Structure formats: C-alpha cells, structure tokens
C-alpha cells in the first residue's frame, strides 16, 4: 500500500491580500474577413486572424537559388581522375593542368590478386 497523502487546507485570504482578477474578456471578429473570432481582453480593439495575415504577407522567399548544372555526370567531382569532353583533366573536382592529368592517366594502379576459394581437401590439411 502507498502512503496516505496529507490533507492541506487552502490558504485563507486576509483583507490585506489582493487577489488578481483578469479583466473581462470578450469576443472580437477578424477585421478583414469577419469570420474568425477570438477571446481577447477588454483593452484590445481589433484583431487580424492568422489566415488573413498569411494572405497579406505571402509565402517566404527562397533564400538560396538552385546551383546551375555543370554538364558533367553525377559524381564527377568525387573521382580521382575525370576527363571532360573538352579534354580538361579533373581530380576530386579540381581542374589539373594537362601535364598533371596525363601523368595521373598513365599511372595505373596494380591489379589486386584474386584469391581463389579453398577446396575441402586444402582446408582439412590446414587444420
């Protein structure tokens, strides 16, 4: 079983204590469309609803224009060597001089040796 909660009496208000009471609220229609109503305090004269505000302001402008197309295939800037149709050499998206590009083109990597699958007899010998 859980503990019992203590019963605490509500605080008594003295005559010297002031109690905050909000001013009387009333309904106000939107001053543009006259459709939406809101509860507002007594000191508010007119309101504009969120729908009318969005129509007045309009959509936000796009901050960044799209990048223009380069005309090269996707991923060209990620390749170690890319040769464009005009004969320009690129390495990782940076243009190289023709001398550096031809040196990279002639340097071919060594092919990896293909490891064959071991047969059952060779696997049993290794154990």
> For 77-97, what is the HEC assignment?
HHCCCEECCCCCEEECCEEEC
Lowest mean pLDDT among 60-69, 92-101, 107-116: 107-116
pLDDT in tens, 32-78: 998 878 888 878 888 898 889 988 998 888 788 888 888 888 898 89
Residue 122 phi, psi (nearest 5): -70, -30
> Would you kindly state where each structural domain of the chain is located, as residue ranges?
26-57, 76-106
């Amino acid at each position: 079983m859980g503990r019992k909660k203590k019963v605490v009496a509500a605080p008594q208000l003295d005559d010297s204590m002031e109690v905050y009471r909000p001013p009387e609220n009333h309904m106000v229609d939107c001053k543009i469309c006259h459709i939406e109503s809101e509860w507002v305090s007594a000191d508010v004269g007119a309101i504009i609803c969120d729908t009318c505000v969005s129509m007045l302001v309009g959509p936000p402008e796009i901050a960044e224009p799209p990048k223009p197309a380069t005309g090269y295939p996707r991923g060209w800037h990620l390749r170690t060597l890319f040769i464009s149709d005009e004969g320009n050499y690129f390495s990782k998206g940076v243009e190289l001089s023709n001398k550096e590009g031809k040196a990279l083109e002639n340097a071919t990597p060594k092919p990896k040796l293909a490891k064959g699958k071991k047969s059952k007899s060779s696997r049993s010998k290794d154990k």
